[in-house]
Amino acid sequence: MDDCIFCKIVAGKISAQIVHQDKSVLAFRDLNPQAPVHILIIPRKHIDQISSMEEADLPLLGDIYGAVKTIALQEGISETGFRVVANNGPDGGQTVGHLHLHLLGGRLMHWPPG
Ligand code: AMP
């Protein structure tokens, strides 16, 4: 998608601090971190949000969660714990229309979220 900022990161047109990549997934540090570790994990393929996934896209969720596990180990937060967040649509607070998970760690998370 030409106007999608995360597609531009996938294409290498915008720089990002990439921490992990494989054939289907890219992960990079959030520009505006909300925790000592704040990484976004995205599919290379443009999908707007979870609710617009098609059945054929569902295996990507396994790839994305596999990346979460790998990155958590890499970042040293696998044992201390972390939170995974997916904002979906306006009420979910989604601001970038390319499906992504937030991986947050390195501090105690509170519940309920705001
Ligand atoms: P969401 O509100 O769930 O859609 O999250 C979008 C996230 O993308 C926010 O936490 C932003 O700080 C982050 N973000 C936006 N643009 C960039 C960028 N160019 N590089 C890294 N993170 C970004």
Instruction: Render pLDDT for 19-39 as a digit per residue (tens, 0 to 9).
Output: 999 999 999 999 999 999 999
Q: Quick one: pLDDT at residue 111?
A: 96
- Which atom of ligand 1 has the smallest separation from the CA of 29? 21
Beta strand 37-43 with 25-29 is antiparallel
Is residue 52's pLDDT more than 90?
Answer: yes
Is the minimum distance from the CB of 88 to ligand 1 under 6 angstroms?
no
Global pTM value: 0.98
Q: How many helices (H) and strands (E) does the chain have?
A: 3, 5
Tokens of 73: 């180990």
- Which atom of ligand 1 has the smallest separation from the CA of 30? 22
Q: Where are the beta strands (DSSP E) in the chain?
A: 18-21, 25-29, 37-43, 82-85, 101-105
Is the minimum distance from the CB of 95 to ligand 1 under 6 angstroms?
yes
